[in-house]
Amino acid sequence: MNRKERIVLLILGSIGCLASPVVAQSRDDRQVWGSVKVEKELTRRWRVAGEYQMRFEENASKLRGHYFSAEAGYRFFKFLEGEAEYRFIASPERTANRVRINLIAKARIRKVTFSWRTGLQRQFEEFADADADPQVRDYWRNRFQAKWKFVKHWEVFGAWEPFYRIDPDGNDSKFDRLRYTAGLEWEFVENHHFGASYLYQPQINRRNPRVFHIFNFEYAWKIPYKKNKKKQPTEQK
C-alpha cells in the first residue's frame, strides 16, 4: 500500500469514527444527501453554476426534498469573491424559495487553502397543510474552511459553520445550529470531481434539540475559462 492509499484510508476511517459514536441517540437522525453540479467560468472573473440535490431523512428512509440551485460569482480580487444564489425546494410537506448573498475571502499557504464565507440568507416557505401559515426565515451564516491538496487530484477539507437566525423584531435573534464538516474530493478525470463528506449538525438554543448526521455525496463538472485565440488573417497571394 503506497502513501496516497494510506492517507485516503486514514481520512475515510476518521470520518467513520466521527459518525459512529453518536448515531444511537434517540433524537438523532441520519440523513443522506446526493447532488450533481455543473460550474462554468465565463471569464477570468465571472462564473455561473447550477445544481440539483436530493435529501433523505429519518435514517435515510424518507425523501426530504428536491433542491434546485442557480448561482453566479464574481471575483473582485484574487483573494475576494462575491456570490449570489437562488434555491427552489420541493417536498411533500412544503415548497420554499431561498436567496443568499455571500462574500468569500481566501488565503493559500503552501498546499492549504483557507477560506471564510459570510452571507445573508432569506427563505420563504409555504406548507401543504392549509392551516399552516407561510414562514420567512432570515439567517446570517459564516463558514470557516481549510482545504489541503495532499497529492495530485486529491483534496481533504474541514469546515465549521454557525447559523445565526435573525428575528425581524430583534427579540429572538440567536445561534440555533452548528455544522461541522469533514470530507474528501477526488478529480477522477480532468475537470470532473467526486466528493464525499460527513456533516455533524447539532441544533442549539432550542427546546428538545436534535442532532443530524449527514452523509453527503456529490459530483461536479467544473468547466474552466478558455480565452479564444484570435485567428491571424491569412495573406492573400
* Per-residue pLDDT tens digits for 134-149: 999 999 999 999 999 9
CA 83 to chain CA centroid, nearest Å: 13
Q: What is the pLDDT of residue 237?
A: 53
Question: How is residue 122 annotated by DSSP?
Answer: E
Q: What are phi and psi of 8, to 5 degrees?
A: -60, -45
Q: Where are the domains of the chain?
A: 3-223
For cell 478525470, the residue is 189
Architecture of domain 3-223: Beta Barrel (2.40)
Please tell me the distance from the alpha carbon of residue 152 to that of residue 186, in angstroms, as a whole number: 9
For residue 42, pLDDT over 90 is answered with yes
Q: Give the range among 1-5, 57-61, 217-221 with minimum mean pLDDT.
A: 1-5
Q: What is the pLDDT of residue 231?
A: 59
Q: Give the range among 2-11, 159-168, 202-211 with minimum mean pLDDT.
A: 2-11
What average pLDDT does the structure give for the chain?
89
> For residue 214, what are the β-bridge partners?
31, 199
Please state the three-class secondary structure of 65-101 as a single string: EEEEEEEEEEEEECCEEEEEEEEEEECCCEEEEEEEE
Query: Quick one: pLDDT band at residue 121, thresholds 50, 70, 90?
Result: very high
What is the mean predicted confidence (pLDDT) over 199-223? Answer: 96
Q: What are phi and psi of 18, to 5 degrees?
A: -65, -35
Q: What is the pLDDT of residue 169?
A: 79
For residue 13, pLDDT over 70 is answered with no
Classify residue 173 by burial, with Cβ atoms within 10 Å: 0-12, 13-18, 19+: middle
Please tell me the distance from the alpha carbon of residue 73 to that of residue 88, in angstroms, as a whole number: 18
Q: What is the pLDDT of residue 138?
A: 97
71-113: pLDDT as tens digits: 999 999 999 999 999 999 999 899 999 999 999 999 999 999 9
